[in-house]
Structure 1
Amino acid sequence: MKFTRKIRLDFLTLALLSSMASAENTLRILTWHGYADPDWVAAFEQKYHSKVELTYISSDDELWEKINRKQANTYDVFAVNTAELQRYIDHNLVTPIKQNQIPNTKNQLPRFRKTEQILGLNRNGHLYAIPFTYSEMGLIYDKKQFKTPPTSMDNLWQTQYRGKIVLYDGSNHNFSLTALTLHANNPFKLSTNEMKQTVDKLLQLRPQNPIFYTTPEQGTQAFINNKAALMFANYGQQQIKLLQNAGADIGYIIPQEGVLAWLNCWAISNTSKNRKLAENWINYTLEKTVSHSLSQRHGLSNTLIGGNLKDSDKILWLEPSENFALRSQYWDRIRAGKARQDAQRQLTK
């Protein structure tokens, strides 16, 4: 009996130790589709003798809900854009990262290696995320309708393209890009006067009879089906790839006034149980084979090659806006075709 009990205890001990070892070598990743393809994950697991548990999200709101849940955090590393990162830092949900622990950052373009110059990545001298992929929101145009390429987002307001412009149906970005054309000091932090001017100019888009989209696929169909001349490319390179695959004869420009861009980064959870493995994952995704594959498969720009960007291009990485709820309220009224006087009246309330 004693011998049998000993065997059972030894078995339970081994099972417990095995479970603990497995947990210690499991990496829990929270990310967007396309950022962790099955073959990349399999190669990582083999290289680091580990197991990866993937959870996908489809919106910033969903990401926040999963990371900010009341129970113990169950993720080690997650993908987040620089505009959203700030509230994770504010709530102590992420931990600083030492760039020297991610040696493949040396392969990145200078624009992304110089993390101290990217607003939103640092706080009090600490780096909180590593850039992974980005998309500038340029202007797509139909080559058949332009003898020479357009140079500015202001072309969206030119009356000869009435009924032939395609816009992303999103309040925040539409306010920011319009503020750019008005040369606002900071398109993400509009003063009261700048907000009024921006609302007024957005209202001037109504007579243009724009076609709206939300997903890259919807944008592609809207551009082709309506024989559009111009489209604000909220998804950048993804939309270029989709349109080219559909046979559209298009061009793409970075506007002279500058271009909005989102930058998605890898951050490590403050409650990560596998910090070293999380660092290994971030480093692994910056290997040339993985980053190049990201662009080839999904049309997403990577931080190792230049893509469409030149050093002279003015890039404005997204920042939190001065009042997202207010922008949304105004956009709903503009989108619904409210009269200018009515919209302006709302501004003064």
Structure 2
Amino acid sequence: MKLFDKLAGTTACAALMFSALPSFAEGELNILTWEGYADPSFIEPFEAATGCSVSATYVGSNDDFAPKLAAGGGVFDLVSPSIDSTAPLIAAGFVQPIDTARIDEWNSIYEKFRTSDGINQDGEVYGVPYAWGAIAFMYRADKFDTPPTTLDALWDPALEGRISLWDDKSALYVAARANGDMDIYNLTDEQIASAQEKLIAQRPLVRKYWSSAGELVDLYKSGEVWISNTWAGYQSALLAEEGIEVVEFIPEENAEGWMDSFMIVSGTPNEECAYQFLNMAVSEVGQCGVANVNGYSVANPEAARRCMSEEQFAALHQDDPEYLDSLLLWENLGDRLGDYTNAWNAVKAQ
């Protein structure tokens, strides 16, 4: 998958969409989010139309959200965690319920996402689904005579010093599948321990655990890394722009799927701007905005249809629900979240 050219009509679409907003809200939104989710290509028109200025702080892992909110003292207004990391934010009262009646295109979002346990609790909705994709795997085309097809490549001694994994608890998901444990969101204590041991055994082969899109791109550019997992569609496109050919693949052991939602931080003084932002995010402006910047699939297929070419719509699997169902879509880990996180931190501590 590749990034598509910037949507030519972004500004025009933004003007059309924002003309329907009820008021010039004014305010300052501080967002804790992922790279690309506050890109100037769609944030600047939003700011101009609404008077709501946007300041973004970027995370490299879902493990960053809860600690930063706990220490933030009301710094942030919106956050965008993935679906397996929302429960602690809800349980701690860090985020507040969403009034879905204030989200114009709520019913256009994929039902699978709207009804997810990760954003629904006790009859309340806590997140607005935004984007989704696969945690695929990627390799430098010029370094492999035989393309890798399984996770075994990530434990190949011949690739010592050329392997990278995302610095995230999802590394446990990878190791569990490599062990043959496919129910990766419901691992037993023994299976978590086995995945941890496998990652510890891999540790001498790993050049570096990557923590941001740019860091992984730099590792590939320098030739330090030849194979890794990746945020499908994003780093591969950035590398293509640098003239470096990489190939994304779904291994025989399958790949995880993720979905990110925007959530409102409890007690924000900028609630009106927050809702204006949420409406922008799931309109064609925000949906094609993130698709064009990050290469990700989006949560509102109706908005995507309005602003994407047929080629882009198909390439991002927006018309292919079977692809989404084929992925091991991240699940809310509940009270097991700490066990996974602790096991991953123990690997890094070796």
Map of 1:212 onto structure 2: 208
Map of 2:136 onto structure 1: 138
Q: 1:198 to 1:66 in 2, by over 3 A?
A: closer
Paired residues of 2:43 and 2:54 also in contact (CA < 8 A): no
Map of 1:11 onto structure 2: none
Counterparts of residues 259-338 of structure 1 (less than 5 Å)? 259-303=255-299, 304=304, 305=313, 307=315, 310-317=323-330, 319-320=332-333, 321-323=337-339, 324-333=341-350
Taking structure 1 as the reference length, the TM-score comes to: 0.72
Measured after TM superposition, the shift of residue 189 of structure 1 is: 4.4
Paired residues of 2:192 and 2:343 also in contact (CA < 8 A): no
Measured after TM superposition, the shift of residue 123 of structure 1 is: 1.0
For 2:138, the aligned partner's letter is I
Paired residues of 2:171 and 2:344 also in contact (CA < 8 A): no
Measured after TM superposition, the shift of residue 244 of structure 1 is: 1.2
Paired residues of 2:193 and 2:343 also in contact (CA < 8 A): no
Map of 1:125 onto structure 2: 123
Measured after TM superposition, the shift of residue 169 of structure 1 is: 5.6
**Greater alpha carbon shift after TM alignment, 78-87 vs 300-309:** 300-309
Measured after TM superposition, the shift of residue 135 of structure 1 is: 4.5
Measured after TM superposition, the shift of residue 188 of structure 1 is: 4.1
Paired residues of 2:163 and 2:225 also in contact (CA < 8 A): yes
Secondary structure, counterpart of 1:137 in structure 2: strand
Counterparts of residues 1-349 of structure 1 (less than 5 Å)? 25-32=26-33, 33-38=35-40, 40-48=42-50, 50-58=51-59, 63-64=65-66, 67-68=69-70, 73=74, 75-108=76-109, 110=110, 113-115=111-113, 117-144=115-142, 149-158=147-156, 161-163=158-160, 165-168=162-165, 170=167, 172-184=169-181, 186-205=183-202, 209-214=205-210, 215-226=212-223, 229-233=226-230, 235-303=231-299, 304=304, 305=313, 307=315, 310-317=323-330, 319-320=332-333, 321-323=337-339, 324-333=341-350
Paired residues of 2:136 and 2:232 also in contact (CA < 8 A): yes
Count of residue pairs the alignment pairs up: 304
User: Any idea what the Cα deviations from partners look like across 1:2-53, whole Å, max 9, x if unmatched?
Assistant: xxxxxxxxxxxxxxxxxxxx997425232335322345334224434x3325
User: Any idea what the Cα deviations from partners look like across 1:57-93, whole Å, max 9, x if unmatched?
Assistant: 445566445543585x354433333333212211222
Distance in 2, Cα, partners of 1:295 & 1:165: 30
Measured after TM superposition, the shift of residue 302 of structure 1 is: 3.3
For 1:130, the aligned partner's letter is V
Paired residues of 1:166 and 1:223 also in contact (CA < 8 A): no
For 1:86, the aligned partner's letter is A
For 2:243, the aligned partner's letter is G
Q: 1:196 to 1:68 in 2, by over 3 A?
A: closer
Paired residues of 2:196 and 2:343 also in contact (CA < 8 A): no
Unmatched tracts of structure 2, length 5 or more:
1-22, 305-312, 318-322
Measured after TM superposition, the shift of residue 236 of structure 1 is: 3.1
For 2:345, the aligned partner's letter is S
Paired residues of 2:84 and 2:118 also in contact (CA < 8 A): yes
Distance in 2, Cα, partners of 1:228 & 1:94: 38
Q: 1:75 to 1:143 in 2, by over 3 A?
A: closer
Distance in 2, Cα, partners of 1:181 & 1:34: 31
Q: 1:127 to 1:70 in 2, by over 3 A?
A: same
Q: 1:204 to 1:41 in 2, by over 3 A?
A: closer
For 1:82, the aligned partner's letter is I
State the structure with more CA Rg: 1
Unmatched tracts of structure 1, length 5 or more:
1-21, 334-349
Q: 1:155 to 1:123 in 2, by over 3 A?
A: same
For 1:126, the aligned partner's letter is E
- RMSD over aligned Cα atoms: 3.4
Taking structure 2 as the reference length, the TM-score comes to: 0.72
Secondary structure, counterpart of 1:84 in structure 2: coil
Distance in 1, Cα, partners of 2:54 & 2:267: 16
Paired residues of 1:34 and 1:298 also in contact (CA < 8 A): yes
Q: 1:221 to 1:75 in 2, by over 3 A?
A: closer
Q: 1:77 to 1:331 in 2, by over 3 A?
A: closer
For 2:191, the aligned partner's letter is E
For 2:121, the aligned partner's letter is R
Distance in 2, Cα, partners of 1:280 & 1:53: 12
**Greater alpha carbon shift after TM alignment, 272-281 vs 246-255:** 272-281
Measured after TM superposition, the shift of residue 267 of structure 1 is: 0.9
Structure 1 runs (4+) greater than 6 angstroms displaced: none
For 2:37, the aligned partner's letter is Y
User: Any idea what the Cα deviations from partners look like across 1:152-209, whole Å, max 9, x if unmatched?
Assistant: 32332345x53374212636222221112223254244323213432443344357x3
Measured after TM superposition, the shift of residue 282 of structure 1 is: 0.6
